Amino acid sequence: MSKLKLANSNKTGLPNTDIFKKKQIDLKRVFSKKAIPYLLLLPAFIYYAIFWLAPVFAGVAEVFTDVNGQFTLTGNFKLMMHSDLFDKAVMNTALFAAVSVMIQYFIALLLAVLLSRKFRGAKLFMFIAMIPMAITPTAVAILWKTGLIKEGWINSLLMFLHIIKEPIVFLNAEGLAAVFLIILIDTWTVTPSVMIILLAGLQGMQRELKEAAYTFGANKWRIFVDITLPILKPSIITSIILRLIAAIQVWAIAVMVLGFNKVPFLVERIAFYVDAVPGVATSEKLAFTFSFTTTVIVFMVTIIYLKFAKRNTKIGGSS
């Protein structure tokens, strides 16, 4: 109200002599208004120019020069491909990302659908379900290591339940079995959180839709396929892609539970060349090339994500 009055009084009570002055002020305001957002974004621009773009370019430059500083297009990639365990690292990373995401979403979706009704203690349940994801990854690795050692709690539990008679030596697992061990740990960590996300999506779903479908004689399976899944689809797709991005970068669990070289992953290789064989020129190059490769892969997945997640993640609306 007061704003309106003020504006009105200004309009009617302005003497003629002030017109020129007012115009100047307007010009200044127009100019500064246009500049303000750029000024506000300037610190972020500068920061990203120095601490993001510069390292990225430096990294790319490293990847395309050899140990002696000479330009090479494929030299470092050849070095990487011929490095120990490269094939396995690629295979394991792909296998881990695909299988873990598949298992986690299958279980989470099943659980979410089963639990999509209101029940007592739901809040407490959500709290408990969030714990694994909230634990520091390093700590998750130690938690499972205390379970997987020969005298660890997993064997204790299995013996107590009379499922096994002799303790199993989990940490001797090799090859596929070891990868599945890591997948299992990741599934424990991630699935409850995925379930919460899907559950939230389901609970926000309109009841009327379901009821209408029931009235028209749809059975439960049809409702799931034709109503529940389509409603959850955007949520599922975006979160799956985000999960994939995280899964590609798995390493800490593998290294901490089983040690280097046991279950090679792309990022595990980077950590290996930084942590286990530092100071050697080729290992430095390998670390750079592995990190470049990982980044490119993640970047490609990110672009797919961008296509799907336009609505959800855009900040401040579009211009």
Residues 115 to 154 in contact with other proteins, rule: CB under 8 A:
115, 117, 119, 121, 125, 127-139, 141-147, 149, 151-153
Query: With respect to other proteins, which residue has the nearer C-beta, 82 or 120?
Result: 120
How far are the Cα atoms of 120, 135, 184, 242, 251 from residue 246, in angstroms, in the given order? 33, 15, 15, 6, 10
CB 272 within 8 A of CB 219: no
Phi, psi of 268 (to 5 degrees): -60, -40
The footprint of other proteins on residues 263-302 (CB under 8 A) is 267, 270-271, 274-275, 287-288, 291-292, 294-295, 298-299, 302
Please choose, out of 8-16, 67-75, 91-99, 108-116, the segment that lies near other proteins by the rule CB under 8 A: 108-116
Angle, vertex CA 292, rays to CA 286 and CA 297, nearest 5: 125
Position 197 contacts other proteins (CB under 8 A) = yes
Residue where the block lists tokens 């000479």: 70
Minimum distance, C-beta of residue 197 to other proteins, in the bound complex (Å): 3
Q: How far is the CB of 16 from other proteins (least distance, A)?
A: 25
Exposure letters 96-108 (e unless 16+ CB within 10 A, then b): bbebbbebbbebb
Instruction: Please select the residue that binds other proteins; options are 65, 72, 235, 282, rule is CB under 8 A.
Output: 235
Count of residues in contact with other proteins, rule CB under 8 A:
117
Shortest Cβ 46–other proteins spacing (Å): 9
Q: How far is the CB of 286 from other proteins (least distance, A)?
A: 10
Only one of the segments 39-47, 65-73, 79-87, 97-105 lies at the binding site for other proteins (rule: CB under 8 A); that segment is 39-47
CB of 19 to other proteins, least distance (A): 22
Q: How far is the CB of 146 from other proteins (least distance, A)?
A: 5
Nearer to other proteins, 228 or 249 (CB): 249
- CA 155, CA 246: separation in Å to the nearest integer? 30
CB 78 to other proteins: min, Å: 19
Pair 273, 85: CB distance under 8 Å:
no
Residues in 151-180 that interact with other proteins by CB under 8 A: 151-153, 155-157, 159-160, 167, 171
Task: Restricting to residues 45-104, name those near other proteins by CB under 8 A.
Answer: 47-48, 51-52, 54-59, 62
Nearest Cα neighbor of 175 from 95, 293, 294 is 95
Q: Which is nearer to other proteins, 16 or 114 (CB)?
A: 114
- Name residue 65's beta-bridge partners: 71
Q: What contacts 148, CB < 8 A, 6 or more positions away?
A: 154, 170, 171, 181, 257
Q: Helices (DSSP H) in 115-206: which residue ranges?
A: 122-134, 137-148, 153-160, 175-203
Which CB, 228 or 294, lies closer to other proteins? 294
Residues 246-265 that bind other proteins (CB under 8 A): 248-249, 251-252, 256, 259-260
DSSP assignments along 259-278, one per residue: -TTTS--HHHHHHIIIIIST
Smallest distance from other proteins to CB 175, Å: 18
108 CB-near residues (< 8 Å, 6+ apart): 191, 192, 194, 195, 197, 198
- Is residue 206 a contact residue for other proteins (CB under 8 A)? no
